Amino acid sequence: MKALLLCLVLSVAYGLQISDKVTPIAKVIEMLKGMKEKGQKEKADEVETFTQFAAWCHDVDLTKNMDIKAANAKIDGLAADIDKFESDIARLNEEISSLDGDVATWEQDRDAATKLRNQEHADYEATHKDYSESIDALERAIQVLKKQDYNREQAAALLQEVALLSHVPASAKRVITAFLAQDSNTEGFMDYQAPESAAYEFQSGGIIDMLEKLRTKFGDELAQLEKEESNAQHAYKMLAQDLTNQIDNATNSRNEKASAKASAEQALAEAKADLQETTASRDADQKYLDETNAICAQKTSEYEARQQLRQQELEAIQQAIDIISQQVAGLGEKHLPGLVQTAFVQLRSGSTSVYQSRAASFIKSKAQALNSRVLFQLAEKMQDDPFKKVKAMIQDLINRLMEEANEEAEHKGWCDTELATNEQTRNTKTQEINDLTASIDKMTADIAELTQGIADLNQEITELDAAVAEATAVRQKEHATNTETIQDAVDAQAAVSQALTILKQFYASAAEATALNQADPTKDMPSTWTTEYHGMQGAAGGVVGMLEVIESDFARLETETKADEESAAKQYKAFMEESAITKTAKTKDVEYKTLEKQNLEGKLATAKTDRENTQKELDAALAYYEKLKPSCVDAGVSYEDRVARRKEEIESLQQALRILNGDDIAV
């Protein structure tokens, strides 16, 4: 027991000025009382923390069950909508197919009617010409024959022409043939000079009368032919107009149904996407609820065990106070003061070794030579931190610098490739745009304004994405730093004291008293405890006396860092939500402007579309180039200078390690 007390007193002496009036044993008793007060406070705080945690568990169970119920109802509604949309689409497909068949049939009927009408009209033209020529031939023959002194050869020729007409009846042809054959001699009917009375009889009852009747007959037939043609033309127009109207009406109906089908397909796609998203959200809520209920049950069991353990710890500390006060205090005043003072002097004189001082001086000189902020910060910490911690800190810094060197080398190769590809893309797309621009005469002011608006929105979206990425990187780095700080603070409070036998017995049993709980499923769960509780192990290793000062500092650091982390997380979440809303609005604005622009560009040439598409590709390449510039072009210090400077820093740190190890004394 004396050895344990000596270890405890020496540890206390490391950070405190021991007064002549306050003995080490008295200080131990004072520290144990402090541990008791702290344990009582932590026990009460844990009760309050668990009360808040239990309320949170109840709220999560209530709200998530309501969310899951609402999601299930929405899923049922979406499933019904999907069935209806699919049924509507199938029905519209059948109706569209039927209309397409009708239109095809009517178009075939119209084409057939048009072909028949054209053939009938051609027949009419030929017949009409035949009748017109026949009437003309008859009129010429009648005019010649009515003359008293007609030319016989001319009359014969005309009568022969009439006899050859297709519409002249066979009986009339026989009469004409017989008339022409009355006198086969050269002194035939053509030379016959009839008296006036005979000529009259000839004209009234002879060939002229027959020819006139034929002319009248042909005239009537021609009129009937023209009437029939007019009626046929009118009937064709009526039929064609009726078929055209049916085709137009069916086409309009078909287009309306196609539009309705497209709308139904769009609604179907949106409903399926909404169903998938809602199902995923519901499943995530169910998983969250299941994990939360499991943790809440585990935390409840763990809380009861921790409270029991804390009560046992308080009782053990009180027993230790009673034992040290009644049985150890007198012996300590008699035998321990000299030994403790000697150990205290040795402990203070050895707290900062000569190697550590030389290493700190070496790092400081290198920091001034290289103007290195990293080495300056390390030199300041090396003066005060423990020897082992300095070595670990230097080794960690060397490892981190080497990792940064590897990452930067990889980043340099990636930048070279991306910049070369991006430059080629920008040059190629710029040349394509120049070639296309030469073939386009003009662009309307509305299209130019919309194009600029879309480009501005895309640039804003790109900048917003860059801001989100930057904020995410800063948040991740900040979270990592805060997590490390909190863990350091927690670890700093985890030192364990085994100064007294009764405390050893308690903390040995307390080491297996509670199990480490599983990871929290979400960040919004109220903080409870994240490590196993083994009592106030900060008293282990003889540092009970330092616990009162050191633990309070690290506890405050932990609290402040947690508050900062929570505030930063809330700000980051708000920024991300606002950015998502803004990006959605801008993206929708781009979609609306693009649709309006496409409507205006419906009559523009294909070259205009090609240039627009190429311009978008160039904008994307330029935006990507802007993203590359901060890390690949405008990095400030050249890559070679950074490599050389980092190499010197690493060599300096390695030299400092050798100094600390005593391998290289001459600095």
pLDDT digits (tens, 9 = 90+) for 182-236: 644 434 444 444 444 344 344 434 788 888 888 898 889 899 999 999 999 999 9
Contact 628, 412 (CB under 8 A): no
Q: Write the CB contacts of 500 (distance below 8 Å, at least 6 apart in sequence).
A: 1, 4, 5, 320, 323, 324
Question: How far, in whole angstroms, is CA 130 from its chain's centroid?
Answer: 79
CB neighbourhood size of 392 (10 A): 12
Q: Which position has the higher pLDDT, 1 or 245? A: 245
Name which of 409, 482, 428 is nearest 617 in CA terms: 428
C-alpha distances in angstroms, 477 versus 149, 375, 412, 470, 482? 130, 21, 22, 11, 9
Name which of 7, 178, 50, 71 is nearest 528 in CA terms: 50
Token pair of 295, please? 């943790």
Q: pLDDT class for 397, splitting at 50, 70, 90?
A: confident
Beta bridge partners of 540: 497
Share of the chain above pLDDT 90, in %: 21
Tell me the backbone φ, ψ of residue 535, rounded to 5 degrees.
85, -175
Q: Which position has the higher pLDDT, 376 or 272? A: 272
pLDDT at position 280 is 94
pLDDT at position 452 is 84
What angle, 0 to 180 degrees and rounded to 10, lies between the N-to-C axes of helices 373-384 and 387-438? 160
Q: Over the stretch 112-165, which tens digit does the pLDDT of each residue have? A: 999 999 999 999 998 898 888 888 888 888 888 887 666 777 878 888 888 888
Q: pLDDT class for 266, splitting at 50, 70, 90?
A: very high
End-to-end distance of the chain based on CA atoms, in angstroms? 45
CA 452/CA 443 separation, integer angstroms: 12
pLDDT at position 459 is 92
Token pair of 646, please? 């980092």
Name which of 9, 654, 589 is nearest 337 in CA terms: 9
pLDDT at position 345 is 38
Residue 239 pLDDT > 60, yes or no?
Answer: yes
CA 589/CA 300 separation, integer angstroms: 51
Share of the chain above pLDDT 70, in %: 69
**Lowest-confidence pick of 19-33, 127-141, 249-263:** 19-33
Amino acid present at 362: F
CA 71/CA 73 separation, integer angstroms: 5
Residue 652, Cβ density class (10 Å: 0-12 exposed, 13-18 middle, ≥19 buried): buried
Q: Over the stretch 319-367, which tens digit does the pLDDT of each residue have? A: 877 877 776 666 556 544 443 444 333 334 444 455 566 667 776 676 6
Place of tokens 């700093």: 492
pTM of the model: 0.37
DSSP 529: -
Amino acid present at 374: V
Q: Which position has the higher pLDDT, 485 or 89? A: 89
Q: Which position has the higher pLDDT, 270 or 647? A: 270
